[in-house]
A and B are shown apart, each in its own frame.
Chain A
Amino acid sequence: QQQVKQSPQSLIVQKGGISIINCAYENTAFDYFPWYQQFPGKGPALLIAIRPDVSEKKEGRFTISFNKSAKQFSLHIMDSQPGDSATYFCAARGYGGSQGNLIFGKGTKLSVKP
């Protein structure tokens, strides 16, 4: 129950296309769902996050779609750019948990081709 399943493992998208990464969870006690972006040699950096009381959050070209009943959430990157090439991690935090006690997915390596 303390898992977040992320897919696909890797993704290749043409410049200008839409990148979609999906995550699923079982534990209904999760209350915070962030996405992290990691470039080679760097640590993960918070990209965008959502709480389960909203179904969508958009920041620039990045959108989280959240389906509470299906226990799924996804990251959409619109107009994907080569600079978006990185590894993306979804994560979740249990209710009442500290800011940093996150459960991560296994990551998706995104390559955006020029």
Chain B
Amino acid sequence: EAGVTQFPSHSVIEKGQTVTLRCDPISGHDNLYWYRRVMGKEIKFLLHFVKESKQDESGMPNNRFLAERTGGTYSTLKVQPAELEDSGVYFCASSQDSVLWGDLNSPLHFGNGTRLTVT
């Protein structure tokens, strides 16, 4: 099965510009997550979609970030306008289940990430 696909793999933009990241989850995975890792820091949760609905967006840093998942398939994460502190690696992940107790056989599958550099 194809894994989680993210593109672009790298993006370099100037402060104030707009960037849109895309994630294609594993086919059939209703749950899609966005994470971000700023250099040297922990990987931080941004938000969680169940199909096309935002289940939890508590990790979104501010209103410059907009995530969408129209049709419940791929997702986009737009940063507008980008700031220097937005630089980092943005990961997308998907899973089949979001069972409360957690099915250890239904893990998160991460994409390879998009490395965003804002100059």
On chain A, the residues within 8 Å of B44 by CB distance are 104
Interface contact A31-B102, CB-CB below 8 Å = yes
Interface contact B45-A102, CB-CB below 8 Å = yes
User: Given that A43-B4, A43-B93, A99-B97 are known contacts, is A89 also in contact with B43, CB under 8 Å in the complex?
Assistant: yes
B12-33 contacts to A (CB < 8 Å): 31, 33
Interface contact B102-A43, CB-CB below 8 Å = no
User: Given that A89-B43, A98-B56, A100-B33 are known contacts, is A43 also in contact with B112, CB under 8 Å in the complex?
Assistant: yes
On chain B, the residues within 8 Å of A101 by CB distance are 33, 45, 48, 56
B95-117 contacts to A (CB < 8 Å): 95, 97-104, 106-108, 110-113
Interface contact B91-A44, CB-CB below 8 Å = yes
Pick from B42, B100, B102, B104 the residue with the most CB of A within 10 Å.
B42
Q: How large is the interface on B (under 10, 10 to 19, 20 to 34, 35 or more residues)?
A: 20 to 34
On chain A, the residues within 8 Å of B56 by CB distance are 98, 101
On chain A, the residues within 8 Å of B91 by CB distance are 43-44
Interface contact A99-B95, CB-CB below 8 Å = yes
Is B40 in contact with chain A by the CB < 8 A criterion? yes
Q: Contact string, A82-111, partner B, CB cutoff 8 A, digits 1/0?
A: 000000010101001111111111110000
B residues sitting closer than 8 Å to A (CB atoms) are 4, 31, 33, 40-45, 48, 55-56, 91, 93, 95, 97-104, 106-108, 110-113
A residues sitting closer than 8 Å to B (CB atoms) are 4, 31-32, 34, 36, 41-46, 49, 51, 89, 91, 93, 96-107
